[in-house]
Structure 1
Amino acid sequence: MRIVFMGTPDFAVPCLKALKDSGHEIITVVTQPDRPKGRGHRLTPPPVKKAALEAGLRVWQPEKIKTPECVAELRQLSPDIIVVVAFGQLLSKEILEIPRYGCINVHASLLPKYRGAAPIHWAVINGESETGVTIMQMDVGLDTGDMILMGRVPVAPEDTTGTVHDKLAEMGAELLAKAINRIESGKAERVPQDNTSSSYAPLLTKEIEKIDWTRSSVEIFNLVRGLNPWPGAYTQLGDKILKIWGTQACTIDRIPGPIPEFSGHQPGEVLGIIPEVGFAVATGNGCLAVTDLQLQGNRRMKAADFVHGHNITKGVFLD
C-alpha cells in the first residue's frame, strides 16, 4: 500500500520503522516543523523527522495540515491510507476522506478510556493497573472512531510514564503492522466504541503538575510517577521550585530504620530525614518519602544526597 505517515515524537518512531520494514511504500512522512529547544533555543528536528531522513524517506513539515494547499498536496500524493501516530495536529474531514482506506490512528490507551492528548500520563496518574494501545479508524471526532485492534500491558507500581511509554510504543508498532495487512486483505474488523464508557485525558498544565500535599499519599505517589520523566511534578521550597521525581510509601518494608511520626503535622511539612532514602513529608492521610528530586537550577539527584547540602530539615514546609 501507498502510505502517508503522520507523526512527531519518540512514540511514533517504532511505528514508522515497522512500516518501513513491512514492505509497504511510505510515500511521505508528515511531521511538525522544527522547534526551538533547550537553553540555547536551537531549532531541533522532531524524532520522526530524524528517523525518516535516516531511512531515506521524504519529509514534509507543514505548519498547519488543514490549509487548502496542504489538502491539495495530500490529494496529489494519492495515498491508499494515512497512518497517524501522535502527530500533534487534527485532521479535517476533507483529509480523512482522501485515502481509499481512510486514516487510522495508533492511540496509547484502551479506548474509549483516555481519549485526548495525554493518555499515558493520565493512566499512570490515576493508578490504572493496565493500559494499552488501540488501532482506530479515524473519524471527525476526538479519538471516537471504530476500533480495529487492541493490545494490553500491565502497569506495575514501579512504572512511570516513561517506562509505560516505551512498552506502548513497541506494542503500537506491532499492532500497526498487523492492522495494515488486515486492512489491505479486507479482513480488518471494526468495532464501534462505547461512548458511555469514555473518559478524557487532557493536556497537562502547571496547576495539574503542582503537588497538593493535602491529597492522599497514594494520589501524590501516582502523580509523581505519572509526570516522570516529563514534565515533572513540582512543589515549592522557599523561593525555588523543587521537582519531585521519585517517592516511596512510608512503610516498614520500604524504609530502613524508624518511620517519622506524622500525626499532628500539617500536609507539606518535612517530618524528618530518612538515612539512605531521603526525607519524609506529611500528606493528607499520612506521609510519603521523597527519594529523587531536582532543585531549580540544579541537576536531578538522590534526595539522600540532597539533604546533606540543603536546608531540608524537620519542620520545613513544602508548598
Structure 2
Amino acid sequence: MFGYQTWGHRTLQALLKSRHEVCLVVTHPASDHVYESIWADSVEDLARSEGIETYLAKRPTDDLIQRVKALAPDVMVANNWRTRLPEELFTIPRLGTLNLHDSLLPQFTGFSPVVWALISGASHTGLTAHLMDAELDTGDILVQRAVEITPTSTGTSLVLATLDLIAEVLEEALDQLEFGTAKPVPQDLSARTFFHKRSDRDSVVDWTWPAADIERFIRALSDPFPNAYTYFRGERLRLIKAHVSRCMYGGTPGRVFIEEDGGMVIVAGADAYRGRSPGIVLDVVRTDDGVDHDAMAYFGHGGGYLTSRP
C-alpha cells in the first residue's frame, strides 16, 4: 500500500480489517506543508504498530522498485500518494495498482479535490477507485460513490463524508479484481478538470466574485483548513462564518457597508456598481491572534474596504 495522511491511514485501517495480507506499506515522511500537516493521521505509526514492513520515501526509488518486485504482490493500493508512481512500479502487481481519489473522476483530477469541488459550485463530490495508468488520476474506473454538496456543506464535512466511503469502495474494488468480475470503465478525458495544489495565495478572497461564490469559498475553507482571508486596515482577517444578504447592495466590491441581520454587509460582485447584486454578510471573523469576533463588534460601523493585500 502507498498512502499518506488521514486518507492513507483510513485505507490501511480498511485493509487491516479485510481478509487481505498487507506485505509492505510505503508512505511519506512527516511534512510541515500546511495542507500536509492537517488531516495528518500517521500511516507510518499504524503500519509499524501492526508489525508491517514500512518504507519512507518522498518519491519512488530504484531500491523501492526492487523491493516491490521481490515481494511480487497481487495488487497495490494507493491513496493520497503525493508524487507520481512510475509505470515500472505500478505495473508490477499481477492485478495492477488500484488508486483511490476523492472526487467523481474525471472531474477534479489532481489536488485538494473536495475543497475545489465546493469552491467551484459542483453539486456532488465523492470517491473513485480506478486502475492506475501513466497519467495522473486518468485510469479506468472500477467503483464510484457520490456525496451530495448541500447549501450547508463545508470542506470539513465533505472530507469526513468521503473518508467514510473508503472501506466500502476499497472492498468492492478489491473483490472485483480478486474474483475477475471487474468491468473497468474508461474515463471521458474530454470532461476532465485538473486542479493544482493549494497554497496560501489560494485562500485570499476576491470581492469581485458574486456573494454566493464567496460564501461557498468561506465554507470550503472551514477549520482545520487554512481559512479564507482578507485584509482590513492592514490587519489580516480570517472569515469563519458568513451568509448572502437579503437585500441588494451597490458600490465598490470590498466596501464595509452596513449591518444586516446582525452581521456586517460587504459589497461584492464585479457588477456591484449597478446595485443589482446581494452582498456577503460577515457573521464571525478571526484575527491573527486566533480569537474569533462577532463581525459587527469587530467593525463597529461601516466604512473602509476589505482588500487582498495589507
Length-normalised TM-score, structure 2: 0.88
Aligned position for 2:265:
280
User: For 2:22, what is the secondary structure of its paired residue?
Assistant: strand
Query: Helix, strand or coil for the counterpart of 1:286?
Result: strand
Q: Which residue of 1 aligns with 2:92?
A: 98
User: In the alignment, which residue of structure 1 is the partner of 2:47?
Assistant: 52
Do residues 267 (structure 1) and 261 (structure 2) align? Answer: no
Are 2:279 and 1:294 aligned?
no
* Gap runs ≥5 in structure 1: 252-258
Provide closer, same or farther for how the CA distance between residues 266 and 93 of structure 1 changes in structure 2, counting only shifts above 3 A.
same
Q: Is the 8 A contact 2:5 2:40 kept in 1?
A: no
> In structure 1, what is the Cα distance between the partners aligned to 2:16 and 2:5?
17
Alpha-carbon distance in 2 for matches of 1:168, 1:206: 24
Alpha-carbon distance, 1:49 to partner: 2.2
Distance 1:192 1:224 in 2: 35
Q: Does 1:71 align with 2:59?
A: no
> Normalising to structure 1: TM-score of the pair?
0.86
CA gap 1:52/1:126 in 2 versus in 1, 3 angstroms = same
Distance 1:68 1:53 in 2: 23
> Aligned residue for 1:34?
30
Partner in structure 1 of residue 133 of structure 2: 139
Any idea what the Cα deviations from partners look like across 1:166-185, whole Å, max 9, x if unmatched? 11111122110111111111
Partners of 2:141 and 2:95 in 1: CA distance: 14
Q: Which of 169, 174, 187 is the matching residue for 1:180? A: 174
Deviations 1:50-101 (A, max 9, x none): 3333444332211321x21221122122221110001112100110111111
Give secondary structure in 2 for the equivalent of 1:173: helix
Deviation larger for 9-18 or 187-196: 9-18
Matched, 1:25 2:21: yes
Aligned to 2:3: 7
Q: Which amino acid aligns with 2:13?
A: K
Please state how far the C-alpha of 1:152 moved relative to its aligned partner: 1.1
Cα pair 1:11 1:165 within 8 Å, conserved: no
Q: Paired residue for 1:318?
A: 306
Could you tell me how far 1:311 is from its partner in structure 2? 4.5
**Number of residue pairs aligned between Structure 1 and Structure 2:** 296
- Secondary structure, aligned partner of 1:51: helix
What is the aligned partner in structure 1 of residue 239 from structure 2?
Answer: 244
1: distance between equivalents of 2:301 and 2:28? 46
The percent identity for this pair of structures is 27
SS at match of 2:306: coil
Q: Shift in Å at residue 312 of structure 1?
A: 5.0
What is the rounded CA distance, in whole Å, between the counterparts of 1:196 and 1:37 in structure 2?
32
After superposition, the Cα gap between the structure-2 partners of 1:45 and 1:54, relative to the gap in structure 1 and judged at 3 Å, is farther
Report deviation, 1:307. 4.1
